[in-house]
A and B are shown apart, each in its own frame.
Chain A
Amino acid sequence: MKPDSRILTALALIAGLLFLSPALYSIFMSFQTVDAYYTGKFEFTFENYALAIGQYNFARYLLNSIIVAGLVTLIALTVSTLAAFAFARFRFPGGNLLFAAVVATLMIPSHISLIPNYLTLAKVGLLDTYAGLILPAISNGFAAFFLRQYIRGIPVALDEAAYMDGATPLKVLWRVIVPIARPAIFAMGLFIFISEWNSYIWPLVAVGEEELYTLQIGLARLYRVNPGEDVINWPLVMAASTITILPVLLGFVFVERHLVRGITMGAVK
């Protein structure tokens, strides 16, 4: 190893630790008893996790978050990949107008559609359901736009070769475009998953029933349902936080490998 690359590694390590320190601290804190925390000592315990899962239903919230963020990611990716393929490759009447409309949705702050979405879902009776949590998020203008740009960068000759080979449009999409666009699709999927995982306002509005809470809602409630006057059970909050961030971290480590492999694969003209 060259000396300057060793310095770089050290710098990167320090920067990484710096970024990670709040998470590491909260994980550390989550294994501490509340008494020890408030008296400045350390006492190891799993009690906070037992409490979060046993008394405060965090296992259920975790499951809800996984279901909602997972399904949103899956469906949104499917819808936006199909839309992106259509916008990138097919000319049809009104196509440009439709694409302009998709781009225009990027300029509308999500809070503006909060109330209309709420009223719509209320009217069709989907409040307090998984569908109510998922449906508003499945049309993702940004993903459609981003993937369209990426697909336009793939030579059309590849599509044409596949058509000559006997493929239908859906086969071309699934067997040629999607594998080549995989890094972009994975990146977009990660992006959608994380923003959905962290989403707070919509689940707060769309769901009143405790059984359908996502992690973020549950976490916010912990401040309020904590016992003790004016005392927040921070170690408990940190245990719940750890439950909230850990799946995302693990997921990223898994997906990141694919991202790197996809990017280095490159396309051949």
Chain B
Amino acid sequence: MSGIQLQDIRKSYTGGPQVLRGVSMDIRAGEFIVIVGPSGCGKSTLLRLIAGLEKCNEGDIRIGGRRVNDVAPQDRDIAMIFQNYALYPHMNVRENIAFGLELRGMAKAERHARAEEVARTLKLDAFLDRKPGALSGGQRQRVAMGRAMARNSSIFLMDEPLSNLDNALRVAMRSEIKELHRQLGATIIYVTHDQSEALSLADRIAVMKDGNLLQFDTPGTIYDRPANRFVAGFLGMHPTNFLPIETLPFWQGKAGLTVGMRPEHMTVHTAAPEAPAIPARIVFSEMTGANLMLHCESDVGRLLVTAPRQEMVGAQETVWIGYDASQAVFFDAGSENRVEHG
């Protein structure tokens, strides 16, 4: 088992701008790391550097303590799952899974036995003789997983492995991947642009933007104490409300800060409450399951508020929006970094 250290990694493709601008991470052996960020922020590039498929311009990559900047991908003992699976179209499922073993010199009977064992864990045993072209999207995804698992690598890299699946399958595979991580005990680095995948899978999340690592911490910390306004806005099922502190009734005499308020920490009242509240008008509401998502208009701006369904029977003209001020996160209005605030 091996940890991975990234030290001030910089990368630009020939003739292009810098894609990674000094990324450092210390990943412990056995951790499930999710790299998340908007598309184009350099997630895949970072993963490919770790895999050895690209070379970095500056910085050190260490795996298990060994510097691997100049080690070829096939010598890094890393398994990778590609976004489009990259299954070998001319090989059947058994051969696809066993190919890595064959290249490492394992005898035919042995590697086929191993492939079949892996296929069984992934419920692929009925498709061993099929070519990838005759499999569904979910089955192909499993073959890609099986190919990575067969070799017992200590590190798995996954680049948006579920993004081509429909929603139900994606959620199901999510828990399977989590379970797999528990069984294998391997280090997993998982790239996604989907914040809910990040929150549900990761031991630690790395949030990236424009080639910078903004925050690298546990899902709980990232959710509750985001490093800056971007992280606060990017993670979470619903968009956070960002408002200047001077416009809000919950604090007095403060200025120069932006407050991040999550919709679930806000409450809706049909009559003016005793505590401070913002008068608002419901523009429309969305059903999100157990809750309603209320889009409100107020003098301070647009507000998103979640409310239990039964509480709001029909849309009301005027409401008062209260807030649990202890949940607030504050950002410097200029730099947009989070600041501690009493």
Please state if A165 and B51 are interface contacts (CB–CB under 8 Å): no
Closest 4 CB pairs of A and B: A165-B100, A157-B86, A166-B103, A161-B86
Q: Which one, A168, A179, A267, A268, contacts B74 given CB within 8 A?
A: A168
B87 interface residue per 8 A CB criterion: yes
Q: Which one, A163, A168, A268, contacts B53 given CB within 8 A?
A: A163
- A268 shortest CB reach to chain B, Å: 4
- B30 shortest CB reach to chain A, Å: 20
B residues within 8 A CB of A168? 74
A98 interface residue per 8 A CB criterion: no
Please state if A268 and B87 are interface contacts (CB–CB under 8 Å): yes
Q: What's the Cα separation between A268 and B144 when bound, in Å? A: 13
- B54 shortest CB reach to chain A, Å: 10
- A160 shortest CB reach to chain B, Å: 5
Please state if A166 and B86 are interface contacts (CB–CB under 8 Å): no
B residues within 8 A CB of A265? 89-90, 133
Chain B 100-142 interface 0/1 with A at a Cβ cutoff of 8 Å (1 = within): 1001100000000000000000000000000111000000100
Q: What's the Cα separation between A163 and B72 when bound, in Å? A: 9
- B249 shortest CB reach to chain A, Å: 55
Q: What's the Cα separation between A67 and B283 when bound, in Å? A: 84
9 pairs, A vs B, C-beta closer than 8 Å = A157-B82, A158-B88, A163-B53, A164-B73, A164-B78, A164-B79, A171-B103, A176-B88, A265-B89
- Chain B, 64-94, CB within 8 A of any chain A CB: 72-74, 78-80, 82, 84-90
User: Number of residues in A with C-beta < 8 Å to the partner?
Assistant: 22
- B277 shortest CB reach to chain A, Å: 54
In the complex where A164-B74, A164-B79, A171-B103 touch, is A179 in contact with B90 (Cβ < 8 A)? yes
Chain A 135-179 interface 0/1 with B at a Cβ cutoff of 8 Å (1 = within): 000000000000000000001011011111111100100011001
A residues within 8 A CB of B84? 155, 157, 269
- A183 shortest CB reach to chain B, Å: 11
B residues within 8 A CB of A166? 74, 100, 103-104, 151
6 extra A-B contacts, CB within 8 A, seeds A157-B84, A180-B89? A161-B80, A161-B86, A162-B88, A163-B73, A165-B103, A269-B85
- Can you name the residue of chain B whose Cβ is closest to the Cβ of A157? B86
- Can you name the residue of chain A whose Cβ is closest to the Cβ of B51? A164
Q: Which of A158, A161, A162, A179 has the most CB of B within 10 A?
A: A161
B99 interface residue per 8 A CB criterion: yes
- B31 shortest CB reach to chain A, Å: 20
A residues within 8 A CB of B78? 164
- Can you name the residue of chain A whose Cβ is closest to the Cβ of B73? A163
In the complex where A180-B90, A268-B87 touch, is A160 in contact with B53 (Cβ < 8 A)? yes
Q: Which one, A160, A162, A268, A269, contacts B99 given CB within 8 A?
A: A162
- Chain A, 217-269, CB within 8 A of any chain B CB: 265-269
In the complex where A164-B73, A167-B74 touch, is A266 in contact with B89 (Cβ < 8 A)? yes
B residues within 8 A CB of A179? 90
- Chain B, 129-187, CB within 8 A of any chain A CB: 131-133, 140, 147, 151
B residues within 8 A CB of A163? 52-53, 72-74
Q: What's the Cα separation between A167 and B52 when bound, in Å? A: 13
In the complex where A166-B74, A167-B74, A268-B133 touch, is A161 in contact with B88 (Cβ < 8 A)? yes
Q: What's the Cα separation between A174 and B125 when bound, in Å? A: 28
B residues within 8 A CB of A268? 87, 89, 131-133, 140
A residues within 8 A CB of B140? 268
A residues within 8 A CB of B51? 160, 164
A residues within 8 A CB of B72? 163
Q: What's the Cα separation between A109 and B72 when bound, in Å? A: 43
A residues within 8 A CB of B100? 164-166
- Can you name the residue of chain A whose Cβ is closest to the Cβ of B144? A161
- Can you name the residue of chain B whose Cβ is closest to the Cβ of A175? B99
- Chain A, 168-197, CB within 8 A of any chain B CB: 168, 171, 175-176, 179-180
Q: What's the Cα separation between A136 and B322 when bound, in Å? A: 87
In the complex where A268-B132, A268-B133 touch, is A160 in contact with B86 (Cβ < 8 A)? yes
- B15 shortest CB reach to chain A, Å: 12
Q: What's the Cα separation between A162 and B79 when bound, in Å? A: 10
Q: What's the Cα separation between A171 and B105 when bound, in Å? A: 13
Q: What's the Cα separation between A158 and B132 when bound, in Å? A: 13
- B191 shortest CB reach to chain A, Å: 14
Q: What's the Cα separation between A161 and B51 when bound, in Å? A: 10
B residues within 8 A CB of A155? 84, 86
